[in-house]
Amino acid sequence: MLLEIENLGVEVAGKRVLKDINLSIAEGETHVLLGPNGAGKSTLFLTILGFPQYDIVQGSIKFKGQDITKLSTAERVQLGIGVSFQTPPAIRGVSVRDLLKIESHQDMDEDLNPRMKELAEQLKFSDEFLDRDVNLGFSGGEVKRSEILQLLAQMPDFTMFDEPDSGVDIENVELLASEIGTLLDKDKPQGSRKRSGLLITHLGYILNFVSADKAHVLIDGVISCSGNPTEILEDIRKNGFNGCVECAQCL
């Protein structure tokens, strides 16, 4: 297993948000995390990432066989985890170009490498845009595309996307989906994929464009069901998350 979460319990600001989460993602797999607003999806994402506000009160997270529960965010990322945020903060004086250089392990004094320049163009960023302060005054679509571009600089072994489709118009969703596909080895046959990912979405819209191997539904801090993404999504589209609540009650 690439990622193994066992009996995970998490508190935020003294409040219990996640309860007894068990989730395993194998090499080459893409999982989806569905669930209504406030269910705890972002909390799980940020806990795996290791943000300090998220207190692990129970259980463990293993990545590549190593217990990462006590590692800092930077250390986890260096092990091969990458993320795209739903609403990242703007940072004055730190440009997209600076970040891309760091993420692609380039020397700060060098020009941005040709591969990154090409990818930037693919994601419809002009060269001048790269000198803008990251996320400062970006449109919703620009934020998402910049997040994906930064991930393409890193090429992580395991990538988590928090609501990559929210606030993005249709045309751009397809573009984003194709780059997400690159990050998840979708261009390779299923058996030979190496990269893995976790797509977080409460609408499931992105799943029209990116295929997933398994879906999990998170409700009120508990994974209420796991299974085939198409079936689960169909059920949610028919019955809303209520169906999942009932399902959770049966468990």
Partner 1 sequence: MDVLSVRNVYEDAERAKDKKAAIGADVTIENFTDETVNALDMIDDLDDLSNQTKKDLLKVGVDTEENNRSGSFLQVDQSNIFTNNAISDSIEVMNIGIALEKYNWVEDYLWNVVKPDADKYTAKTALREKEDGVKSGYFVRSLPGTKEVMPVQACMFISDADIMQTAHNVIIAEENSELHLITGCATGDDISSAMHVGVSEMYLKPGSKITFTMVHNWAEEVEVRPRTGVNLADNATYINNYILTSPVSTIQSFPTAYCNGENSRAIFQSIQGGKKDSIIDVGSRVLLNAKGAKGEVISRAVAQDESQIYARGHLAGTVPEVKGHLECHGLVLSDDSFIYAVPELEASSANLEMSHEAAVGKISEDEINYLTSRGISEEDAESMIVRGFLNMDITGLPDELAQQTQNMIDMSLDGM
Ligand X SMILES: Nc1ncnc2c1ncn2[C@@H]1O[C@H](COP(=O)(O)OP(=O)(O)O)[C@@H](O)[C@H]1O
**Which member of 39, 143, 199, 206 binds ligand X (CB under 6 A)?**
39
Shortest CB 157 distance to partner 1, Å: 13
Q: Which does 10 bind (CB under 5 to 8 A by kind): Mg ion, ligand X, partner 1, none?
A: none
Shortest CB 88 distance to partner 1, Å: 5
For position 71 contacting partner 1 by CB under 8 A, the verdict is: no
Interactions with partner 1, residue window 129-148 (CB under 8 A): 133
Among the residue ranges 27-35, 45-53, 114-122, 227-235, the one whose residues contact partner 1 (CB under 8 A): 45-53
Interactions with partner 1, residue window 154-173 (CB under 8 A): 154
For position 12 contacting partner 1 by CB under 8 A, the verdict is: no
For position 93 contacting partner 1 by CB under 8 A, the verdict is: yes
**Which member of 2, 29, 42, 184 binds ligand X (CB under 6 A)?**
42
**Which member of 10, 23, 31, 43 binds ligand X (CB under 6 A)?**
43
Q: What is the 3-state secondary structure (H, E, C) of the chain?
A: CCEEEEEEEEEECCEEEEEEEEEEECCCCEEEEECCCCCCHHHHHHHHHCCCCEEEEEEEEEECCEECCCCCHHHHHHCCEEEECCCCCCCCCCEHHHHHHHHCCCCCCCCCCHHHHHHHHHCCCCCCHHHCECCCCCCHHHHHHHHHHHHHHHCCCEEEEECCCCCCCHHHHHHHHHHHHHHCCCCCCHHHCCCEEEEECCCCHHHHCCCCCEEEEEECCEEEEEECHHHHHHHHHHHCCHHHHHHHHHC
For position 224 contacting Mg ion by CB under 5 A, the verdict is: no
41 φ/ψ sector (left φ>0, alpha ψ -120 to 50, else beta):
alpha
**Which member of 29, 47, 63, 103 binds partner 1 (CB under 8 A)?**
103
**Which member of 15, 37, 65, 74 binds partner 1 (CB under 8 A)?**
74
**Which member of 8, 23, 31, 40 binds ligand X (CB under 6 A)?**
40
User: Using an 8 Å Cβ cutoff, are 30 and 216 in contact?
Assistant: no
Residue number, 94 or 222, with CB nearest to partner 1 = 94
Shortest CB 64 distance to partner 1, Å: 16
Interactions with Mg ion, residue window 31-90 (CB under 5 A): 41-42
227 φ/ψ sector (left φ>0, alpha ψ -120 to 50, else beta):
left
Q: Which residues bind Mg ion (CB under 5 A)?
A: 41-42
